[in-house]
Amino acid sequence: MFSGLPTVLVNAALISALYALIAIGFTMIFGVGGVLNLAHGALLMAGAYAYLLLARDTISVPVFESMTLHPLIAFPIAVVTVAVLSYLLYVVIVQFVEDNPIVTFLATIVVALAATEVVIHYAGASTHTYTLIPSDLLPSTVGFGPVDGILTVDVVGFVVSWVAIGLLWLYVTKTDSGRAIRATSMTERGARLTGVNVHAVRARTWLVAGALAGIGGVFLGASASATPGMWLQPLSLAFIIVVIGGIGSIKGSIVAAYLIGFLQTGVGEYLGQNFRGILSLVLLIAVLFMLPQGLFGREFHE
């Protein structure tokens, strides 16, 4: 019945870590500003393509003609690039329209579509893959108990995911600027009353969320591939995860990411690959009916 269970569990854990990276930034931005950032998937894509641009010579844009940096150098630059892009997205566009959810919705989806066109223009519609873990650093696969042939890049992604989550947790619990983010996501009015500069908090949240999206994007591109359409599925995934986890709850996103990751992998293995996506949606509907605020969410009050 449950043949290959260890393999399924390991795979599920690895993909869930990636899902968590994909979803956390999305949920933070929603928690702090009530903004549904439909360009979140495009930021993931930006991570993958920024890394490609820096580390591989298969695409070239003016100024960055065939540059091949070492992955350890290219990775942080790509992440910072995406963080800055995310910050700029807020400062240049979103902050002017964030009070109107419909306009924000449209503005961010337009950014996502424009990003797709930019990628097609410079990198073509073809598939690009890249190796994130140089073979001279680590073997390309590792064994883990009864499971062998686990991709090192996925394991590294798992570790990086938890390191990022740990750092994020330290930031939002131990530092004033991080606590301000948490406070704002709990109650904006309360935050204002205690002297938090909500506007600055929002901009900072976009920066942090962008960095997480950048990390997620580089690993997403490494474990799958970089294509101009790669942003759509992670975006819908982020949606599902955020609703199930509870709007604005970082903890909820992590739990829901693992829930979805294990569900999809288990379903794919034991019911067939075609059911992978369906059950997530069924779960989404069930949560909406039974726990409208999600697993760890709170009612919105203003």
Partner 1 sequence: MMTRHNEQTTGDQHTDEQTTGRRPTDERNADGSTGGTGYVRRRHFLQTAGAAAVTSTLAGCIPGSGDGGDNLEGPIRIGHLAPLQNPLGIGSRRTATMAVDQISDDGGIMDEEVEVVHADTGGNPGTAQTEAERLVAEEDVDVIVGTFVSEVTQAIMDYVAQEGVPLIVTGSSAPSTVTDFIGQDYDRYKNFFRTGPINSTFQAEAMVDYVNHLNDLHGWSSFAVVADDAAWVEPHLNVLPDALEEQGYDLVMEQSLNINIDDFSPVINDVVESDADAMIRFFAHINAAPLLVERAQRELTFGIEGIHVTGMHPAFAQLTEGAATYETTSQSGGGGTTDITENTIPFVESYRERFADSDPPVGHPMYMGFNTYDAINVYKAAVERGGTWDYGNDLDSIVDAMLATDHTGVAGQIQLYGPDAEYPHDAKETRDDEGTISNFPITQWQPQGALECVYPEQHATAEHMAPRW
- Which residues are at the interface with partner 1 (CB under 8 A)? 3-4, 7-8, 11, 15, 56, 58, 120, 124-131, 140-141, 149, 151-153, 223-225, 227, 233, 264-265, 268-269, 272-274, 276-277
In the complex, least distance from residue 70 CB atom to partner 1, rounded to whole angstroms: 15
Which residue from 6, 16, 23, 14 is spatially nearest to 234, judged by alpha carbons?
Answer: 23
| Six-digit token string for 60 | 């070239």
In the complex, least distance from residue 233 CB atom to partner 1, rounded to whole angstroms: 6
How far is residue 26 CA from its own chain's centroid?
Answer: 7
In the complex, least distance from residue 183 CB atom to partner 1, rounded to whole angstroms: 36
For the residues of 58-110, what is the DSSP string, one character each?
S---TT-TT----HHHHHHHHHHHHHHHHHHIIIIIIHHHTT-HHHHHHHHHH
Nearest CB to partner 1, comparing residues 56 and 202: 56
In the complex, least distance from residue 242 CB atom to partner 1, rounded to whole angstroms: 18
Nearest CB to partner 1, comparing residues 131 and 177: 131
Measured CA to CA, the distance from residue 101 to residue 37 in angstroms comes to 10
Nearest CB to partner 1, comparing residues 40 and 56: 56
- DSSP run (H or E) holding 142: strand 141-144
How far is residue 210 CA from its own chain's centroid?
Answer: 9
Nearest CB to partner 1, comparing residues 184 and 280: 280
In the complex, least distance from residue 3 CB atom to partner 1, rounded to whole angstroms: 8
Nearest CB to partner 1, comparing residues 14 and 208: 14
